[in-house]
Structure 1
Amino acid sequence: MNAMMLSDYDVFLFHEGSLQQAYQFMGSHVRNDSRGTYTEFCVWAPNARSVSLAGSFNDWNSAGYELQKWNREGLWAVRVDGDLTGETYKYEITTLSGERKLKADPYGFASEKRPQTASIVYDLEGFKWSDEEWLEKRSGSSIYDKPMFIYEVHAGTWKKKDGKFLSYTELARELIPHVKEHGFTHVELLPVTEHPFDRSWGYQSTGYYAPTSRYGEPHDLMNFINECHRNDIGVILDWVPGHFCKDAHGLYQFDGSFAYEYEEERDRENYTWGTANFDLGKGEVRSFLISNARYWMEVYHIDGFRIDAVANIIYWANQGEQSPNEGAIGFLKKLNQAVFDYDSSILMIAEDSTDWPQVTSPVHYGGLGFNYKWNMGWMNDVLDYMETPPAKRRDVHSLMTFSLLYAFSENYVLPLSHDEVVHGKKSLLDKMPGDYWQKFAQYRLLLGFMCAHPGKKLLFMGSELAPFSEWKDLEEIDWHLMNYDFHLKFNSYFKELVHLYKGAEALYELDHQSRGFEWIDVNNSDQQIFSFIRRGKKENDHLVVICNFSPIVYHGYKVGVPHADFYREILNSDAGKYGGSDQVNPAPLPVCHETYHGKAGSVVMTIPPYGTVYLKPEYGRGE
Structure 2
Amino acid sequence: MNQVQPHSLFTDFDISLFKAGKHFRLYEKLGAHLIEVNGVKGVYFAVWAPSARSVSVVGDFNYWIQGEHQLHVRWDSSGIWEGFIPGVDKGTKYKYKIQSNNNGIITEKADPFALYCQKPPETASVIWDLEYKWKDKKWMDTRKDKNGLDKPFSVYEVHLGSWKRNLEQDRSLTYLELAEDLVNYVKETGFTHVEFMPIMEYPYDPSWGYQLVGYFAPTSRFGKPQDFMFLVDKLHQAGIGVILDWVPSHFPDDAHGLGFFDGSNLYEHPDRRKGYHPDWKSLVFNYGRNEVRSFLISNALFWLDHYHADGLRVDAVASMLYLDYSRKEGEWEPNIFGGRENLDTISFLKDFNEAVYSNYDGVQTIAEESTSFPMVSRPTSVGGLGFGMKWMMGWMHDTLQYFKRESIYRKYHQNDLTFSMTYAFSENFMLPLSHDEVVYGKKSILGRMTGDEWQQFANLRLLYGYMFTHPGTNLLFMGAEFGQRAEWKFDGSLDWHLLQYGYHEGTRKCISDLNELYKTNPALFEKQFSPEGFEWINYSDHQNAVLSYIRKGNEDKENLIVVCNFTPVVRENYRIGLPSKGKLTEIFNSDKVEYSGSGVTNKKAIKIDKEPWNGRDFSAALTLPPLGVSVFKVSLK
TM-score grouping bracket, smaller chain normalisation:
over 0.9
Deviates more, 1:483-492 or 1:414-423: 483-492
Q: CA deviation at 1:186?
A: 0.4
Rounded to whole Å, the distance in 2 between the matches of 1:201 and 1:17 is 30
- Name the SS of the counterpart of 2:255 in structure 1: coil
Match of 1:313 among 296, 316, 320: 320
State the match for 2:119 in structure 1: 113
Match of 1:464 among 481, 494, 500: 481
- Name the SS of the counterpart of 1:441 in structure 2: helix
Cα distance 1:4–1:513, how it changes in 2: closer, same or farther (>3 A)? Answer: farther
- Name the SS of the counterpart of 1:401 in structure 2: helix
Rounded to whole Å, the distance in 2 between the matches of 1:589 and 1:145 is 30
Paired residue type of 1:82: G
CA deviations 1:417-476 (Å, max 9, x no partner) are 001111111111110111111100100000000010000000000111111111122111
State the match for 1:288 in structure 2: 295
Rounded to whole Å, the distance in 1 between the matches of 2:632 and 2:145 is 32
Match of 1:17 among 15, 21, 29: 21
2:74 aligned with 1:66: no
Paired residue type of 2:406: P
State the match for 1:5 in structure 2: 9
- Please give the residue correspondences for 1:426-505 in structure 2 after superposition, counting only pairs within 5 Å: 426-505=443-522
Please, what TM-score do these two structures have when normalized by structure 2? 0.95
CA deviations 1:255-300 (Å, max 9, x no partner) are 1111000101121111101110011111111010100011111111
Match of 1:99 among 105, 110, 130: 105
Deviates more, 1:562-571 or 1:296-305: 562-571
State the match for 2:309 in structure 1: 302
- Name the SS of the counterpart of 1:139 in structure 2: helix
- Please give the residue correspondences for 1:49-60 in structure 2 after superposition, counting only pairs within 5 Å: 49-60=53-64
Q: Verify the 8 A CA contact 1:534 1:543 in the aligned structure 2.
A: yes
Rounded to whole Å, the distance in 1 between the matches of 2:391 and 2:617 is 35
Rounded to whole Å, the distance in 2 between the matches of 1:261 and 1:245 is 10
State the match for 2:217 in structure 1: 210
Paired residue type of 2:148: I
Q: CA deviation at 1:584?
A: 1.4
Rounded to whole Å, the distance in 1 between the matches of 2:20 and 2:126 is 28
User: Gapped runs of 5+ residues in structure 1?
Assistant: none
State the match for 1:227 in structure 2: 234
Q: Verify the 8 A CA contact 1:25 1:42 in the aligned structure 2.
A: yes
- Please give the residue correspondences for 1:22-421 in structure 2 after superposition, counting only pairs within 5 Å: 22-34=26-38, 36-70=40-74, 71-95=76-100, 96-125=102-131, 127-140=132-145, 143-161=148-166, 162-316=169-323, 317-320=325-328, 323-421=340-438
Q: CA deviation at 1:142?
A: 5.6
- Name the SS of the counterpart of 1:602 in structure 2: strand
State the match for 2:332 in structure 1: none
Match of 1:509 among 526, 530, 536: 526
CA deviations 1:53-103 (Å, max 9, x no partner) are 100011111333011111434111121012421100000011221222210
2:614 aligned with 1:597: yes
Rounded to whole Å, the distance in 2 between the matches of 1:554 and 1:37 is 77
Rounded to whole Å, the distance in 2 between the matches of 1:5 and 1:112 is 26
Rounded to whole Å, the distance in 2 between the matches of 1:442 and 1:270 is 38
Rounded to whole Å, the distance in 2 between the matches of 1:84 and 1:307 is 35
Deviates more, 1:576-585 or 1:189-198: 576-585
Q: Verify the 8 A CA contact 1:465 1:478 in the aligned structure 2.
A: no
Q: CA deviation at 1:579?
A: 1.4
Aligned residues: 617
- Name the SS of the counterpart of 2:602 in structure 1: coil
2:542 aligned with 1:525: yes
Q: CA deviation at 1:318?
A: 4.5
State the match for 2:584 in structure 1: 567
Rounded to whole Å, the distance in 1 between the matches of 2:145 and 2:591 is 40
State the match for 2:3 in structure 1: none
Q: CA deviation at 1:33?
A: 3.7
Deviates more, 1:217-226 or 1:134-143: 134-143
CA deviations 1:356-410 (Å, max 9, x no partner) are 1111111111100001100111111111111122222222211101111111111
Paired residue type of 1:120: V
Q: CA deviation at 1:604?
A: 0.9
Q: Verify the 8 A CA contact 2:588 2:631 in the aligned structure 1.
A: yes
